[in-house]
Structures are given as structure tokens and as C-alpha cells.
Structure 1
Amino acid sequence: MKPLLQNLAEMTAHRDHLRLEVSVLSTLAQQGRNVNVRALEIFVHRGETLLRPRSWSTAEGRIVSSDCDPIEDTQAVALAQLPELAQCIAREGKSAERIGPDGRHTLWLPVWLGDRAHACLEITQPKRLTRHQRDVITGVFLVYQNYQSLLDYSERDALTGLLNRKTFEEQFTRQPPVAAEAVGEDTPGNWLAAVDIDHFKRVNDRFGHLYGDEVLILVANQLRTLFRSQDRIFRFGGEEFVVLLRAATLAQARGALERLRASVEAHAFPQIGGITVSIGFAAAHGGAPVEILGRADQALYYAKENGRNQVRFYGDLVESGQLRARVAHDEVELF
């Protein structure tokens, strides 16, 4: 029992979702001989629910993790190909299992956050799990899920449920690197957008903060709906949101942000009526996170000062001479 308690202590010492995931897989892999474990990420792409292995145990007993974007992972499969797991998730169940033609036994444990299963732990071994193994695995899993929920709560904005500002830099550094010279109108890159609700102070002053909060929640819902699972959406406080678009071309990024702008403009907000948003975005390379964010903010401020309700790209504004590029010098930006 001592090694298990040590593993649990190590598991709950982490403050990072991926390290926590690796730690729980390491703990589960020690619960029997020839036990294989995987953490499967669940995501939606083009309307289809898919799974892909995000972390897994190797033949040498190590736990390794994938660093590629979900939609580019060649190991991704449709959830429908695992009917037992698909049925379990559909009924919001706690576990599913299958005995394969070779007699191998697989146990799946969906990881729920709210009403959505965003991941699943998979335990496979040559024979059926004993009752003791199942009890230990279930106990470890419950500790893991509860602790992950606490981590997620600390990383989320309490009002909208979006990622909060303190998680931005970590999420930014996790994105796959893209060579600056490779990014163009038709080649994939990463982009950072700053989104600001126009005249939001007037909404609070005229209708009160409860209606203002409802506007923030509804805009956050539109952000979730219009962006992909591999993109990251943050609320930076007040009426400002930030979107990190991954593996998109400049044309795709511009189109997605324009769709957001048009969707907000067309939406009838209860009591308030119509509102608009201004958006500035920049390429997410060639500088530290704070520099990239500063470029997106420059484009945003230009949009707000020149009519609002528009999308502006930092690169276009610099190229046309409407903005001057900031010159970075170590930790100081010179204007």
C-alpha cells in the first residue's frame, strides 16, 4: 500500500493537467502485470466526435505524451468505432468495458468536466481485472478526477467558464512552433486575437451589471461555438477576450474572426438589443507572449478608434503604414 500512497501524493503535487495525467497513468500501470494504459483525448472535428491517444505507456514502462495537434494526429479514430465507450458517454456513464477476441480486457473511465466528457482513461490487460484491481483503479481515478476538477476550476473564469488570464502564457508556449518565414495567406500558422465588446460600459451603466454579465456569458458561448476544439479561448477580464487560433492559415483566421464579428452583430441580446465587437489579431510568432499580445492589442485599439465593429490584422496595418512596428530589445519594447 505504501507505493500507492506515495504515487497518490506525487500525483496531487502537480499543478499542470498534462503532468497530472502522466502521473495517474504511471500509478495505474503499476496495478498489475502487462497492464497497458492510455489517456484518450475526446474532441469534435467537422461535426464528428473523435478520440486520440494523448499519453500512453510504452513496453519499457515509461509514460510518453503526444505533442501534435489533435486534428493532425494520425492515430485519431471515431468514437463510433468503440461502441461500448460511445454508449457509456451517451448515457453519461461512469465506465465501460470490452473483452476482445484475444481475451484481452479493456476498461474505459470517461473524465467528465461538467456535462462533457473531454477525455477517457483506458486500462487494458490480458485477463479480466480482479475485484481488488478494479477497486484500486476506481479509487485512484476518483482522486485524479476530483483533483483535475480543482485544477480546472482554478484555471477558469468564474462567470463565463473560459480559460482565465493566468493560464495564457502556459497555453501559448504549448502551441507547436511555426517558422516565421513559413506563415502566409495559404500556409498554416498560429494567430492571436484580442476581442473587445464595443461600448460595454454603456450596457452596465444603462441596464445594470446583471445584464452586463449576461452579455459576457452569451458572447463567451458564441466564441465556444465558432472556434475549433484545438483553439484556446480566454477571458482577460472586463469585456476583453483573447483567442489563440492554432494551425490556421491567415485567410482562415481572418474568416473565423469575421464570422464572430458578424454573429455578435446579428444576435439579439435580451433587453439590450444589439451590440458589436472590435477585433485585432496578429501572428503568434516572432516574440514573447506579451509582445504578441501587444501587437494584437495595437490592432484592436486601431479598430476601436476607427469605427469599431471591425476586424483588423496587425501585419496589414504595419505594411500599409497605419501602425508602426514596435522594436523589441530584450525585455523592453521601444516605440
Structure 2
Amino acid sequence: MKPLLQNLAEMTTHRDHLRLEVSVLSTLMLQGRIVRVRALELFTLERQTMVRPRSWSQGTEVVSSAHDPSSDPSRTPLAQLPELANCIATRERSAERSEDGCHILWLPVWLGETVHACLEITQERPFKRHQRDIITGVFLVYQNYQNLLDYSERDALTGLLNRKTFDEQFARQQIAAVASALADGAPTGQWLAVVDIDHFKQVNDRFGHLYGDEVLILVANQLRSMFRSEDRVFRFGGEEFVVLLRSMTVEQAHSALERLRQAIQEQPIPQVGQITVSIGFAMAQGAAPVEVLGRADQALYYAKEHGRNQVCHYEALERSGALGKKVEHSEVELF
């Protein structure tokens, strides 16, 4: 019991979802009869719910996948796990399967109204009541702490990641990009885009802040639906959003951002009518987060100064000379 309590105490020291996930799997491995534990990630791909192992036990260690969810070769449709699919559909706390000396217990991780992950425990013997009680207790501590972490990382109005999570997510995206390139042998670009709602102050002044909040929520929903599970979307405050795009060519990034711009333009909003956004984006590799943000911001300002409702690429603007010459003054570069 003492090692289990020590692991539980260690688990609650983590301030990172993935490390917390690895910690809970390590804690569950202390149950002697368990053959394997896995943390499954649920995500949507082409309107189908998919499942893939994100972390799993390997001997006495826990390892994590280096693949993007959409390109992970181990991904499978949720429908291939009918017990788990039914458990989620009916909002049950757990699901089980027993066949040929293999007993599997699934514990979905609910964050609000959505299941983003699931713990899977496999062993050769049926789960006894005492063992299930211990596993469930560990799981509830884990799920509650996941919810606390998620709450601290989310913007209260839109539910998107907030500003304080950006630096960590930026660094993680860079590490994942390198790992993916090594695994697949085909490095592709990483991009940062700044999305700003045009004339948002006029919406607040004319219709009031309640309608302004509604506009922010609708834009956030579009951002959430337009990008993949491996991309990251943030609300930086006010009417400004930031998107980190992984594993894309510059053409693909521009096309994805253009689809977002067009979708927002074409979405009617009650009372307010039509809104538009301006977008600036820049390459996210080879520079500190603040530098990349500065470049994307310059592209955004160019878009706003030249008609709004458009997508501008920093590196393309720089090559064309549209941003003007850089004037170096001591250690500060002025545009």
C-alpha cells in the first residue's frame, strides 16, 4: 500500500497532462496481476471517432507515441471496440471485455461533456472487487486532477487553451515535430498564425458585450472545428487567437487558414450579421516563441493595413520587400 500512496502523491505534483498520464500508468502497474496498461487518445478524423494508444507499459517502463494522431499507424476506429463505444454513448463509468484468458477494463476520462482519453487495463484473470476498487480510486484521483489542470489551462469564455499555456505547447510542438520527422523521414513545416477579428470594438460598442462574447464563442468554435487534433488553438485575450499548425507545407498552411477565413466570413451571426478576420502567419521553427509571434503579428498588421479579411504570410511579405527594410539600431531591429 505504501508504494501506491507514494505514487499517488507523486502523480499530483505534475503540472503537465502527458506526465500525469505516464504517472498514472506507472501507478496502475503496481497492481501485480496487470499485464498491460495503456492510455488511449480519442480524436476525430474525417468525421469518424478514432482511438490510438498515446502511452503504454513496456516491461517496467511507460513509453509514449511520437506519431501525430492522424498519421499514427496504430489508430483504429472506435467502432472496433464496441464495449468502449457503447460505454461512452451511454455515459457509463467503465466497460469490460473477457475472452480467452484476457480481461480488459476500460475507464473513459471525461472532461466536461467529452471523452478525450481512456485508460485500458489488461490482465489474464478476472478483476476482483478489491482490485477494481483500488483501480477506480486511482483513476478518480487522476481524472479529478486532469480536470483541475484542464480548467487552469482553458479560457473561461471559449474553452480554448489560454495564453499561459502557449510557451509549453510551443516547445512540445517543436519536440514532436523533430520526433515525427525522424520517424517518418519527411520533415515538414510548423507554423504559427495570429487570427484577429476585424472591427471587433464596433461590435461591442454597437450591440453590447453579450453579443461580443457570442462572436468570440462562434469564432472559437470555428477554430476548434477547422483544425486537426495535433494542432493547438489559443485565445490570447480580447479578439486575438493564435494557432500552432504541425506538419504542413506552406501551401497547406495557407490553404487551411484561408478556409478558416472564408468559413467565418460566410457564417451569419444573429443581430450582428457578418464578421471577418485578418490572419498573419509565420514559420515556427528556428526561433524563440516571442520572435515567431512578432513575425506573425507583423503579417497580421500588414493584412489589416491593406484591406483586412485576408491571410498574409510573413516570409513571403519579407521576400517581396512589402514589409520595408529593417533598420538595425544597437540590439533592436526596427521595421
TM-score, length of structure 2 as denominator length:
0.93
Write out per-residue CA displacement over residues 58-78 of structure 1, whole angstroms, 9 at most, x where no aligned residue. 12x111111221122111111
Distance change in 2, residues 1:42/1:328 (3 Å): farther
Residue pair 2:177, 2:247 contacting (<8 A) in 1 also: no
Change (3 A) 1:278 1:257: same
Q: Contact 1:178–1:190 at 8 Å: present in 2 too?
A: no
Give the aligned partner of residue 87 of structure 2: 88
Sort the Cα spacing of 1:91 and 1:304 in 2 relative to 1 into closer, same or farther, 3 A.
Answer: same
Give 5+ residue unaligned stretches, structure 1. 180-185
Q: Does 1:232 align with 2:243?
A: no
1:136-179 CA distance string (max 9 Å, x none): 00011011001100000000000000000111111111113369
Unaligned runs of at least 5 residues, structure 2: 180-185
Counterpart of 1:208 in structure 2: which amino acid? Answer: G
Letter paired with 1:225: S
Name the CA shift for 1:327/1:248 in 2 (closer, same or farther; >3 Å): farther
Alignment of 1:300-315 (within 5 A): 300-315=300-315
Letter in 2 for 1:50: M
Structural RMSD (CA): 1.9
Provide the residue aligned with 1:120 in structure 2: 118
Paired position in structure 2 for 1:62: 61
Tell me what 1:173 maps to: 171
Identity of aligned residues (%): 70
Which aligned segments of 4 or more residues in structure 1 are displaced greater than 3 angstroms? 324-329
Letter in 1 for 2:3: P
Kept after mapping to 2: 8 A contact 1:44/1:229:
yes
Give SS of 1:279's match.
strand
Q: Within 5 Å, which residues of 2 pair with 1:157-196?
A: 157-175=155-173, 176-177=176-177, 188-196=188-196
2:147 maps to what in 1? 149
The separation in 2 between residues aligned to 1:327 and 1:22, in whole angstroms, is 49
Residues 37, 56 of structure 1: 8 Å contact kept: yes
Q: Secondary structure at the match of 1:242?
A: strand
Any conservation in 2 of the 1:187–1:250 contact (CA below 8 Å)? no
CA-CA distance at 1:121 after TM superposition: 0.2
Structure-to-structure mapping, 1:18-97, within 5 angstroms: 18-59=18-59, 61-97=60-96
Shift of 1:86: 1.2
Give, in whole Å, the separation in 2 of the partners of 1:299 and 1:76: 37
Q: Which residue of 2 aligns with 1:182?
A: none
Q: Deviations along 1:107-145, whole A, 9 cap, x unmatched?
A: 000111111110000000111111111000001101100
Q: What CA distance in whole angstroms lies between the structure 2 residues aligned with 1:178 and 1:32?
A: 36
Q: Which amino acid aligns with 2:94?
A: S
CA shift at 1:328, angstroms? 11
Q: Report the 3-state secondary structure (helix = DSSP H, G, I; strand = E; otherwise coil) of the residue aligned with 2:274.
A: coil
Structure 1 length-normalised TM: 0.93
- 1:100 and 1:325 mapped to 2: Cα distance? 70
State whether structure 2 residue 120 is matched by structure 1 residue 140.
no
Does structure 2 retain, via aligned residues, the 8 Å contact 1:178–1:285?
A: no
